């Protein structure tokens, strides 16, 4: 029976072409949008994880209660030992201490008097170690627009807007004024080795990057850090894996002791309102599928009605010969499934081809981010996952079945008594 129906579809292409193209185009758009959404979700996770949050972040309980104020007086102590323990407990993770701090940058004139001042939001990481991955995580290799990366202690990078406002150029000297871990005043002179442009106004206006050894010396934080960030190295971010890691760390023996200085681990979803953003991606994926299923079902419903009118005589003959209405209806649904499968395969192939291309090359959106208030990567890429190969079958098959099921209801409204009159005419 299936072979018979398939031959009928091949020989009468006029009744197949419109549904096939509708399904193929709809599935193509579904697969492409699914890959693009997955790519955007993955990139935003990795971008924020590299720059600010890590897949997980360890802080003291007091620091985690108010991380926006950067309370380094509540920083972690004994970080070298803690990082060594973390690396031995989970080899699939990589860990790096960081210090974030606020301060005042004072630029002197030729006489040593203050020429200009500006507030800064500093990030200190291990950027002087040979081959340090922190340079890549912070995006420094692609954001230095003047000068060069720091190559020795005492050198810093400053944001482009901050440098313009303070009239700072590479090679210039500035005094950084801040507060130590113990609450006393800290000052030190630094050389500006380069100017960075992140494309995010908040970072370019106040951003400062320095080596963590310099920050520890300045802030009196020897073997201490405000945060220890962790990233998966044995695969991409997986919510279940990361949340399990955090749960085990927070449930370890003695985790309840230590008061506000006890270390706690927070996942990326627990920071910077990332949970709401990531949940929105799931809602968008469901909305995309729903929209395409609805739109394709409406088009295929109309196509089914047109096809039923064109096949009015054929259906009448089959009913007059004694074929049950249910059999005719089921054969039409079987034809719809065949068309849906063929259209889904074609649309999936095209959608995967475009998704793979954008995964490799991406779309440059840096021109749209000049005054952006959120942190996004400059190139948006698709991401092909296992679901990309199968997601198209949901709208492809559902829409054809729904459209044909609605259009085929007319079969049951046919009056057997009127069939012979139709055949006579």
**What pLDDT, in 10s, does the model give residues 296-326?**
777 766 666 665 555 656 666 666 666 777 7
- Rounded mean pLDDT, 93-100: 94
- Rounded mean pLDDT, 132-161: 90
* Pairing label, strands 363-364, 93-108: unpaired
Cα separation of 339 and 19, whole Å?
Answer: 7
**Is 106's pLDDT higher than 50?**
yes
- Rounded mean pLDDT, 263-268: 92
DSSP string computed for 197-251: --SBHHHHHHEEEEEHHHHHHHHT-TTEESEEEEEESSSS--HHHHHHHHHHHHT
Model confidence at 101, in pLDDT bands (50, 70, 90)? very high
Least confident piece of the model among 50-54, 213-217, 335-339: 335-339
**Is 387's pLDDT higher than 70?**
yes
Least confident piece of the model among 171-185, 197-211, 398-412: 398-412
- Does 16 or 423 have the greater pLDDT score? 16
Give the per-residue pLDDT at 39.
86
Model confidence at 125, in pLDDT bands (50, 70, 90)? very high
Model confidence at 368, in pLDDT bands (50, 70, 90)? low
Q: What is the DSSP letter of 372?
A: B
- Cross-strand pairs, 59: 264
Per-residue CA distances from 286 to 6, 34, 260, 390 (Å): 33, 10, 41, 15
Percent of the chain with pLDDT over 90: 32
Give the per-residue pLDDT at 34.
87
Q: pLDDT digit string (tens) for 66-95?
A: 888 889 989 999 999 999 999 888 888 999
Cα separation of 53 and 287, whole Å?
Answer: 29
Q: Are 34 and 391 in contact (CB under 8 A)?
A: yes
- Does 329 or 305 have the greater pLDDT score? 329
**Is 354's pLDDT higher than 90?**
yes
* Pairing label, strands 155-159, 185-196: parallel
Cα dihedral across residues 244, 246, 249, 251: positive or negative:
negative
How deeply is 22 buried, as exposed, middle or buried, from its count of CB atoms within 10 A (0-12, 13-18, 19+)? buried
- Does 345 or 339 have the greater pLDDT score? 345
Provide the mean pLDDT of the chain.
82
- What predicted TM-score, i.e. pTM, was given to this entire model? 0.76
Instruction: Map tokens 């259209």 to a residue.
Output: 343
**Is 147's pLDDT higher than 60?**
yes
C-alpha count within 13 angstroms, C-beta hemisphere, residue 417:
0
**Is 335's pLDDT higher than 70?**
yes
């Amino acid at each position: 029976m299936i072979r018979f129906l398939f031959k009928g579809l091949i020989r009468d292409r006029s009744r197949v072409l419109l549904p096939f193209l509708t399904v193929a185009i709809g599935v193509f758009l579904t697969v492409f949008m699914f890959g693009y959404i997955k790519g955007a979700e993955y990139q935003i996770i990795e971008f924020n994880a590299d720059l600010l949050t890590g897949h997980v972040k360890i802080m003291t309980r007091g620091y985690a209660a108010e991380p926006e104020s950067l309370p380094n007086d509540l920083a972690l102590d004994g970080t070298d030992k803690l990082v060594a323990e973390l690396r031995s407990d989970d080899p699939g993770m990589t860990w790096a201490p960081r210090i974030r701090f606020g301060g005042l940058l004072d630029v002197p004139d030729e006489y040593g008097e203050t020429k200009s001042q500006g507030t800064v939001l500093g990030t200190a990481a291990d950027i002087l170690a040979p081959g340090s991955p922190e340079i890549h995580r912070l995006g420094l290799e692609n954001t230095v627009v003047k000068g060069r990366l720091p190559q020795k202690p005492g050198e810093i990078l400053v944001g482009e807007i901050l440098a313009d406002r303070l009239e700072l150029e590479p090679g210039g000297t500035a005094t950084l004024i801040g507060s130590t871990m113990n609450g006393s005043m800290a000052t030190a002179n630094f050389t500006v080795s380069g100017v960075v442009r992140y494309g995010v106004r908040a970072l370019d206006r106040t951003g400062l990057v320095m080596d963590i050894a310099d920050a520890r010396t300045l802030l009196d934080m020897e073997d201490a850090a405000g945060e220890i960030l962790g990233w998966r190295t044995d695969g991409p971010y997986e919510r279940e894996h990361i949340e399990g890691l955090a749960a085990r760390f927070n449930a370890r023996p003695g985790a309840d002791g230590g008061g506000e200085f006890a270390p706690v681990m927070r996942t990326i979803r627990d920071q910077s309102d990332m949970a709401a953003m990531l949940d929105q991606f799931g809602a968008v994926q469901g909305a995309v599928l729903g929209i395409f299923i609805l739109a394709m079902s409406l088009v295929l419903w109309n196509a089914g009605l047109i096809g039923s009118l064109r096949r009015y005589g054929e259906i009448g003959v089959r009913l007059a010969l004694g074929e049950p209405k249910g059999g005719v209806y089921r054969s039409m649904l079987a034809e719809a499934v065949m068309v849906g499968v063929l259209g889904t395969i074609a649309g999936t192939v095209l959608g995967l081809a475009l998704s793979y291309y954008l995964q490799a090359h991406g779309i440059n959106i840096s021109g749209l981010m000049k005054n952006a208030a959120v942190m996004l990567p400059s190139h948006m890429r698709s991401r092909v996952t296992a679901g990309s190969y199968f997601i198209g079958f949901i709208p492809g098959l559902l829409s054809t079945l729904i459209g044909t099921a609605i259009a085929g209801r007319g079969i049951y409204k046919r009056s057997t008594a009127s069939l012979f009159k139709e055949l006579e005419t």
